[in-house]
Protein backbone atom coordinates (compact mmCIF):
# COMPACT_ATOMS: atom_id res chain seq x y z
CA UNK A 1 0.00 0.00 0.00
CA UNK A 2 2.87 2.39 0.80
CA UNK A 3 4.41 1.64 -2.60
CA UNK A 4 1.13 2.45 -4.36
CA UNK A 5 0.71 5.76 -2.53
CA UNK A 6 4.33 6.81 -3.16
CA UNK A 7 4.25 5.96 -6.86
CA UNK A 8 0.86 7.66 -7.30
CA UNK A 9 2.04 10.83 -5.54
CA UNK A 10 5.19 11.03 -7.65
CA UNK A 11 3.21 10.36 -10.82
CA UNK A 12 0.75 13.16 -9.99
CA UNK A 13 3.62 15.56 -9.29
CA UNK A 14 5.33 14.72 -12.58
CA UNK A 15 2.15 14.63 -14.71
CA UNK A 16 0.66 17.82 -13.26
CA UNK A 17 3.98 19.67 -13.17
CA UNK A 18 2.51 23.18 -13.74
CA UNK A 19 0.49 22.87 -10.50
CA UNK A 20 3.57 21.82 -8.52
CA UNK A 21 6.28 23.90 -10.22
CA UNK A 22 6.58 26.43 -7.38
CA UNK A 23 7.71 23.79 -4.90
CA UNK A 24 6.93 24.62 -1.26
CA UNK A 25 4.85 27.71 -2.01
CA UNK A 26 2.35 25.78 -4.13
CA UNK A 27 -0.76 24.92 -2.07
CA UNK A 28 -1.39 21.78 -4.14
CA UNK A 29 2.19 20.58 -3.58
CA UNK A 30 2.09 21.27 0.15
CA UNK A 31 -1.25 19.53 0.58
CA UNK A 32 -0.16 16.47 -1.40
CA UNK A 33 3.12 16.20 0.54
CA UNK A 34 1.39 16.52 3.92
CA UNK A 35 -1.15 13.82 3.03
CA UNK A 36 1.48 11.47 1.58
CA UNK A 37 3.82 12.04 4.56
CA UNK A 38 0.98 11.26 6.98
CA UNK A 39 0.15 7.99 5.20
CA UNK A 40 3.81 6.96 4.94
CA UNK A 41 4.33 7.41 8.67
CA UNK A 42 1.09 5.55 9.44
CA UNK A 43 1.97 2.65 7.13
CA UNK A 44 5.72 2.33 7.62
CA UNK A 45 6.35 4.11 10.92
CA UNK A 46 8.66 7.05 11.45
CA UNK A 47 11.95 6.88 9.56
CA UNK A 48 14.71 9.43 9.05
CA UNK A 49 14.51 8.93 5.27
CA UNK A 50 11.31 10.96 5.23
CA UNK A 51 13.08 14.19 6.32
CA UNK A 52 15.24 14.61 3.18
CA UNK A 53 12.19 13.68 1.10
CA UNK A 54 10.11 16.46 2.63
CA UNK A 55 13.02 18.92 2.27
CA UNK A 56 13.45 17.99 -1.40
CA UNK A 57 9.75 18.48 -2.03
CA UNK A 58 10.10 22.14 -0.96
CA UNK A 59 12.63 22.86 -3.74
CA UNK A 60 11.01 24.10 -6.95
CA UNK A 61 11.39 21.56 -9.76
CA UNK A 62 12.61 18.79 -7.46
CA UNK A 63 9.20 17.16 -7.83
CA UNK A 64 10.39 15.73 -11.13
CA UNK A 65 12.47 13.24 -9.14
CA UNK A 66 10.39 10.46 -7.51
CA UNK A 67 11.36 11.32 -3.94
CA UNK A 68 8.50 9.51 -2.20
CA UNK A 69 9.15 6.34 -4.16
CA UNK A 70 12.86 6.51 -3.29
CA UNK A 71 12.07 7.02 0.40
CA UNK A 72 9.69 4.04 0.48
CA UNK A 73 12.27 1.89 -1.31
CA UNK A 74 14.93 2.88 1.23
CA UNK A 75 12.71 2.28 4.27
CA UNK A 76 11.34 -1.06 3.08
CA UNK A 77 14.80 -2.24 2.04
CA UNK A 78 16.15 -1.48 5.51
CA UNK A 79 13.20 -3.17 7.21
CA UNK A 80 13.64 -6.26 5.04
CA UNK A 81 17.39 -6.40 5.75
CA UNK A 82 16.74 -6.03 9.49
CA UNK A 83 14.27 -8.94 9.38
CA UNK A 84 16.72 -11.16 7.48
CA UNK A 85 19.65 -10.40 9.79
CA UNK A 86 17.48 -11.02 12.86
CA UNK A 87 16.31 -14.40 11.54
CA UNK A 88 19.86 -15.40 10.59
CA UNK A 89 21.26 -14.53 14.04
CA UNK A 90 18.51 -16.28 16.01
CA UNK A 91 19.86 -19.54 17.36
CA UNK A 92 17.39 -22.14 18.58
CA UNK A 93 19.65 -24.31 20.70
CA UNK A 94 17.47 -24.30 23.82
CA UNK A 95 16.14 -27.65 24.96
CA UNK A 96 12.89 -27.39 26.90
CA UNK A 97 13.45 -30.53 29.02
CA UNK A 98 16.99 -29.59 30.07
CA UNK A 99 16.95 -29.30 33.90
CA UNK A 100 20.63 -28.59 34.45
CA UNK A 101 21.50 -24.90 34.75
CA UNK A 102 24.00 -23.69 32.21
CA UNK A 103 27.13 -21.77 33.16
CA UNK A 104 26.35 -19.26 30.40
CA UNK A 105 23.59 -16.68 30.84
CA UNK A 106 20.44 -17.08 28.79
CA UNK A 107 20.29 -14.57 25.94
CA UNK A 108 16.77 -13.62 24.97
CA UNK A 109 15.68 -12.22 21.60
CA UNK A 110 14.42 -8.62 21.52
CA UNK A 111 10.81 -8.17 22.50
CA UNK A 112 8.67 -7.92 25.59
CA UNK A 113 10.10 -9.26 28.82
CA UNK A 114 9.14 -12.84 29.63
CA UNK A 115 7.33 -13.74 32.86
CA UNK A 116 9.71 -14.29 35.79
CA UNK A 117 10.66 -17.88 36.61
CA UNK A 118 9.48 -19.22 39.95
Q: From CA 108, how far away is CA 34, in angstroms rounded?
A: 40
- At residue 39, the pLDDT reads 93
Mean pLDDT of 18-47: 83
Q: From CA 75, how far away is CA 60, in angstroms rounded?
A: 25
**pLDDT band for position 111 (cuts 50, 70, 90):** confident
Helix residue ranges, H only, the chain = 2-15, 17-20, 27-44, 50-57, 67-89
pTM of the model: 0.60
- At residue 29, the pLDDT reads 79
- At residue 24, the pLDDT reads 62
Amino acid sequence: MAWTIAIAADAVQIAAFPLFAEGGISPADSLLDIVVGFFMIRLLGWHWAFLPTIAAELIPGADLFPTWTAAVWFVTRQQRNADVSYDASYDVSYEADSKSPSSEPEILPPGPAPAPRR
